[in-house]
Every structure is written in C-alpha cells, then in structure tokens.
Structure 1
C-alpha cells in the first residue's frame, strides 16, 4: 500500500461512534427492482436503525429518460446543478457513489471540485453488458470504469474473486463489502406447490434480460419443469422460443419466497453477475443451486452439500437434486444484512479527509 492509500485507509470511519450524515447517490433506486436497489435499501434501513441520517439521491428526483432497452430504468437528465443543490442542503459527512450512470458521474465531478473523498461500488459488469448489445470493445469500457472508480478513495466489491479480477484490471483501491439475505422473509416454509407442473421444478428468478443468459438454462434437456419468475425486456422473446417453460412474471409479497422454497433446484445461468443476491435467497429458502463456476457462485456455493457448479450446466442441475436442503438454509444463515451494513459504514471515508 502506498502512502496515499495508507492515509486514506487511516481516514476510514472504522469503529468511530456517533451518528453520521451519509449521502448515497445512485442511478439505481426505487421504483426499480434489482439487486443494487435491494442491497442499498437494506443497508440504508440498518444504518438508519443504528442512528445514522442517510439521504439517498436517485433518478426519481430529476427529469429523466428511459434507458435504451430497459424502459423501466430511468436515467437522470443533466442532473449536476440540481444535484449540487440537494447535496448542499444535506451537508453530508460521507459520500458514497453507488453507480456509474449520469448521477454517479455528476456526483463524482462535484466531489472532485470540492476536494471531497468518496467511495464507489462495483455492482454491475457494464463492459460485458455493453459488449453484448453493441459490440463496443471491452477494453474501451473497462478503461472508462477504471477512470470513474479510481478517482475515489475506495471501490467496494462483494466477493474475493471479483476483487482479484478488478485488481488484475488495474483497480488499485478495491475494498471488501459483503452482502446479506433477509432470513425472516426467505425461509423453507411455506412452499409453492407448483400444482400441475411435473417435478422436479428447476427455477430461475430475477430480471429476464439478455445478460442473465437465461436461454442457456431453458435450452437444457432436463426432467420435470423449467420455471422463470421475473420480468424484463427478454421475456417475450424467451416465451416464444421456449413455450414449454412456465413463466410467472414478477412475484413479490411472499410469493417470491414461496417460489424459491417450492423449487427443487435454483438455476443461476449468469456468467456476468458480480454477486447474485438470488443465490442467498434460494439457499435461505432451502433450495440448492446449480450454476457455472464463475464469480458469484464460486464465492457463495463453497459447500458441495448446497449446490453444484459445472461448465456443463445440465450436469450441475442434476447433481444439485441430491443436495441437502437443511444444509442450504444453514449455509445462508452465515450471511446477514446487519454485517453487510456494518462493513459498509466502517469503510466509508469522511469528506473532511480531503
């Protein structure tokens, strides 16, 4: 660690007591439904319960445009002037920039102009997503991502394998920030019976989008039934291509938890997620996981009793049928949102450090 990084590490909030005024700026926030929003909302809930004053500035406060290909995701339009006023009114003690969208770049510019240190988080593999849609070279996008994050005092990443990858790509300020699961919401009972659907039930739950690689799951020759819970821009095309699969659309208010618990195997076909909160949700529901051996699954499915990882996804699905459902729940109980929020808070950097 060089002298500059050592000084920044020393300036972390650490175990300092007393409430903080924490500003989080994120292009992903309600009413969006995704892993970033779920993570941030749970962390904010626990920080506020602990006495901190937390302000989240999202695109809902600005004139916005729908993101191409994702109309449910709104992008703030020319947000810097209004954002600066909101920041001034809140007077933060620490700043965290969660995403690399218009709000993230605007907040980055404000911090740099004022000499404020800030932290960022690496939630999403935008280079791979852009490449899948536009064929923009990965090297170009990764260079932009490095420029964004390296201006801050630290980049939070959820898993060891992701932190190692980012370091190999030239990120020099990567810090650990784990994830959690709501163990009271996701549990082995009650279970969805999936009446009328042949068993075993292989379940995917999450956004139905091209980067989730759902077609790799639906193309498998498996016994029983393939179920897709969720919605997104790729749903119509997948339903037309795989009419034998059962699509439920978006589920919540207990139905999602029942869906996990009622499945025989949860299938996670993504190769590009940075973590995959759905892995923990499935395990907490007692459902074993089948996935490729990539970042996220490699870091979560560390016990062969709770899932199977294989480049042959069909083989992983079939092996997962023999996993121990009680072990799945016990494995998930090691992950808590309380620990996630505490780690997040401890690694923040006060603006006064600038």
Structure 2
C-alpha cells in the first residue's frame, strides 16, 4: 500500500511523537509498504515562537499538493495539527479523500501553557480539525475516554510500543561520578512537562535531566544542584542514560502517553509519576512503578521495585501490534480514478 504521512513532527526534532512516527515508518517499510513522509525539513521553515527547536513549515500548500498528487497515495495519515497537517487536511477535503489523524499531544493544553489563550477555545479548534477524520488515533485508553467525553465521535484506541532490543538492561556507569540513588527524567525541557515538580523535590543522591528545550537554561539557573545532560550519541547513549538511573521520575500531568516511561522500564528502571493520563496507561496494575500525588513518596518507593518486573512489563508493548492496528485504522482512498492523472503524469515523466 502507498501510505502518505504528513507530519509537522519529524527528524531532527527529538520528542516522543517523532520516535513513534519514525519507528512506525520503519516497520511499515519493512513490511513492504511504500511510505511518503512529508515533513518540515523539506520546506522553508521558521522557528516556533517560544520553542525555537521546532521548525514550522511555511508556504507549503502548492508543494504539498504536488507531492501528494505525484505519489498518488492509497491512504493518508495526518498525525499533527500544525501547518503541514492543515495543508494535507485541506488537500484531502478538496478531493473528497478520506484520511486519518492522531492525537499524539494535548495540543490545547500545550498552547494554553505557553500563551494563556483560553483553553475552551483551543479545544474547540482542535476538535474541528479532527472532525472530518475517518479515525482519530488515541495513544492510550485514558485519552480515548477523554476525547469521547469531549464529543469526538471518531476516536479509536491505538497502542504504543517500545524497542526492547535497543532499550534493555545494561551497565549503570554512565553517571558514575554522581552519588546514588540517581533519579532521572528524559524528555523535552518545556513548561508543559511540569519539571519543577521534580526538580524541587528533596531527594537523596542525585537528580538528572536528559533532554533539551526552551526552559533548559532557566531551570539550570534555578536548580544548580541538578545535573543536566544532552544525549547526542543517539539511542545507544540514551539507553546508557536510562540504565544509569535507579528510578525514573515523570512529573508531566498533560502527556497523552509518555514513551520515555516505557523506554525506562525496558531498561529495568522503575517509574514514579502522578496518577494521571499517561502514567496510568503505561503502568496499569503492573507494579513496575508508583503513582502518587506525593511525587517524592512515589520516587522513594520506586527504588524498591525489582528491575525484572519493569523489564517484563515493557516487553508486553509490541510494535507488531502497533503496526497492525495502524494499518487496520487507515482509510483507503476508494476512487481509483482520482489517482489516474497522477499515474499518467509519472508515466510521462519516466
């Protein structure tokens, strides 16, 4: 099948959405599907206000249309609500093509945290964006329930997976100079991640943050006792960072899932988090972590959890299941005639 994925989140961005989409792309290609990724790195971009690491594509309408026409997709997936997502959505609607979307990020809460725009208005805007979608892929049962309660009539549950071959137990020596126990956070360093709730905790040993983002410099000044690190060595270095920790602390209250928790668990590192959407779906009743409104108590209690229990729980999140579900949710374009002009153009060009 020819599958077009039009996304505003792609490499070289570093976040959970990119990791999910990148792995999904690789799994689809490995199964023999032809996948076109339309992403910001192919266009003129500008830095996102207040978050310069994310680039927003501008003046993309005509070129996106040409790319999709030439590719002649049999299914279109739009996983983000940004500029490219809006262009792809309009392209599908103009041609009467079905498409699917995804709710990877609590975008209204994210924008509200950075701009203080009214949350109800933002939620209405995002709901309208997804309204024509054949299926809105929700990455967890909690998000599925939330979106259903908000009036989404087209939402479906979609699993997430973790690469248990890359993220596996290993040596705990990466931060060898730091006193133990080592408490770790991995992810974007942004205001919506609620990091001060972790950074301000009175914990024994050391606190470490691995990641980058617009709030990093501010937090480094405010919390000088915390070790900040950027893993530039790819997944190998990232796995070494996870393995060095004794507990993984996830302070976010707004994540739709939190892939980093699964990666930590796959390395045998227990999780401490608030009992909210994301952590409740990742941990369930596994006993591989501790959920508590008292994040300090959760972090200390997590130290008692055996690594084997964490690893076993993470191994239950299969990428094969994730890929199977994604293919099942896709909305194939039924109008083969609509694809004929593009096929003729490609044949003529050849």
TM-score (norm 2): 0.93
Q: Is residue 316 of structure 2 the alignment partner of residue 334 of structure 1? A: yes
Q: Is residue 150 of structure 2 the alignment partner of residue 186 of structure 1? A: no
Say how many residue pairs are matched: 335
Distance between the aligned counterparts of 1:336 and 1:251, measured in 2? 27
Partner of 1:9: none
Q: How many angstroms does 1:346 deviate by?
A: 1.3
Q: Is residue 6 of structure 2 the alignment partner of residue 22 of structure 1? A: no
Whether the 8 Å CA contact 1:288–1:321 is kept in 2: the answer is yes
Which residue of the other structure, out of 194, 198, 202, is the alignment partner of 1:217? Answer: 198
Which residue of the other structure, out of 51, 54, 72, is the alignment partner of 2:53? Answer: 72
Q: Is residue 120 of structure 2 the alignment partner of residue 176 of structure 1? A: no
Distance between the aligned counterparts of 1:75 and 1:220, measured in 2? 35
Q: How many angstroms does 1:182 deviate by?
A: 0.7
Distance between the aligned counterparts of 1:44 and 1:304, measured in 2? 29
Distance between the aligned counterparts of 1:49 and 1:134, measured in 2? 41
Which residue of the other structure, out of 224, 233, 240, is the alignment partner of 1:243? Answer: 224
Partner of 1:157: 138
Distance between the aligned counterparts of 1:303 and 1:70, measured in 2? 36
Distance between the aligned counterparts of 1:255 and 1:42, measured in 2? 18
Whether the 8 Å CA contact 2:286–2:313 is kept in 1: the answer is no
Distance change (3 Å), C-alpha of 1:169 and 1:182: same
CA RMSD of aligned residues (A): 1.2
Q: How many angstroms does 1:114 deviate by?
A: 0.2
Which residue of the other structure, out of 260, 275, 281, is the alignment partner of 1:293? Answer: 275
Partner of 1:318: 300
Distance change (3 Å), C-alpha of 1:194 and 1:150: same
Whether the 8 Å CA contact 1:230–1:248 is kept in 2: the answer is yes
Q: Is residue 34 of structure 2 the alignment partner of residue 53 of structure 1? A: yes
Distance between the aligned counterparts of 2:134 and 2:311, measured in 1? 36
Partner of 1:275: 257
Q: Is residue 120 of structure 2 the alignment partner of residue 120 of structure 1? A: no
Distance change (3 Å), C-alpha of 1:30 and 1:106: same
Q: How many angstroms does 1:304 deviate by?
A: 5.1
Q: How many angstroms does 1:198 deviate by?
A: 1.1
Instruction: List aligned pairs for 1:219-234, cutoff 5 A.
Output: 219-234=200-215
1:132-153 deviation line (CA, Å, top 9, x unaligned): 1211111000000010001111
Distance change (3 Å), C-alpha of 1:353 and 1:303: farther
Distance between the aligned counterparts of 1:293 and 1:314, measured in 2? 13
Q: How many angstroms does 1:80 deviate by?
A: 1.1
Which residue of the other structure, out of 73, 78, 95, is the alignment partner of 1:97? Answer: 78
1:192-212 deviation line (CA, Å, top 9, x unaligned): 352221111000011111111
Whether the 8 Å CA contact 2:231–2:237 is kept in 1: the answer is no
Q: Which blocks of at least 5 consecutive residues in structure 2 are unaligned?
A: 337-350
TM-score (norm 1): 0.92
Q: How many angstroms does 1:353 deviate by?
A: 7.0
Answer 1 or 2: higher relative contact order, Cα 8 Å, separation at least 6: 1
